[in-house]
Structure 1
């Protein structure tokens, strides 16, 4: 059976992908789900002038846990087997690396942005990820 990686950022679109993965688990198509939240590094911004690196990592972890909360609830309700991870870095690169590191067979992610700008930004991320990933990427609308 398959192990799928589902990147989540707390958005409704990401939760649609989690629901799809839960459905696939219930249908016995998926054996395990890897939930992944990617935080952009805070030390590259102004926050590094006011906080220590340790404090910034705590903020990133808290933001990651908040983004994972609803996704965990969906998978718990479905009785799905899953692991949750929070990583810091470039979103597309980190997702591709996490899929490889966790021996995932596929990536399932939600489409983002129903506005023109949101669709453009989501398309850039998706295209970059498709080029970098060694596994299939499925988009859930």
Structure 2
């Protein structure tokens, strides 16, 4: 059976991917699920001028846990075991690296938002991830 990584940012589309992974677990196609939220580093912006690095890391961890909250609820309601992680870094690179580090067999992620700008951004992310990942990437709509 497969071990899948599901990147989660709290969006409806990401939660659709979580539901899909839960269905795959129920159908005995998936044995393990790794939820991942990637926070872009706050020190890359203006916040670094006003806050210490440890304070920025606490904010990133808090925001990451908030983004995972609904995904956790979905999997727990479905009786699906999972491991959740929050990481900081470049989103596509961190997803690919985390899949490799956790020996995942696949990545399951939500599709782009329906707005033109959302589609452009998410399309860019999925295209970068396809190039960086050593495992198959499934987009859930």
The bucket for the TM-score relative to the shorter chain is over 0.9
**2:117, 2:10 → 1: CA distance?**
19
Q: CA RMSD in A?
A: 0.5
TM-score, normalization: structure 2? 0.99
Q: Secondary structure at the match of 1:6?
A: strand
**1:73, 1:97 → 2: CA distance?**
25
TM-score, normalization: structure 1? 0.99
* Equivalent residue number for residue 90 of structure 2: 90
Q: Secondary structure at the match of 2:63?
A: helix
* Equivalent residue number for residue 26 of structure 2: 26
* Equivalent residue number for residue 39 of structure 2: 39
Deviation per residue, 1:32-59 (Å, 9 max, x gap): 1000000000001100011100000000
Gaps of 5+ in 2: none
Q: Secondary structure at the match of 1:104?
A: coil
Gaps of 5+ in 1: none
Deviation per residue, 1:114-133 (Å, 9 max, x gap): 01111111111000000000
**2:134, 2:121 → 1: CA distance?**
22
List structure 1 segments (4+ residues) > 2 angstroms apart after TM superposition: none
* Equivalent residue number for residue 59 of structure 1: 59
* Equivalent residue number for residue 74 of structure 1: 74
1:127 aligns with 2:122: no
* Equivalent residue number for residue 16 of structure 1: 16
* Equivalent residue number for residue 137 of structure 2: 137
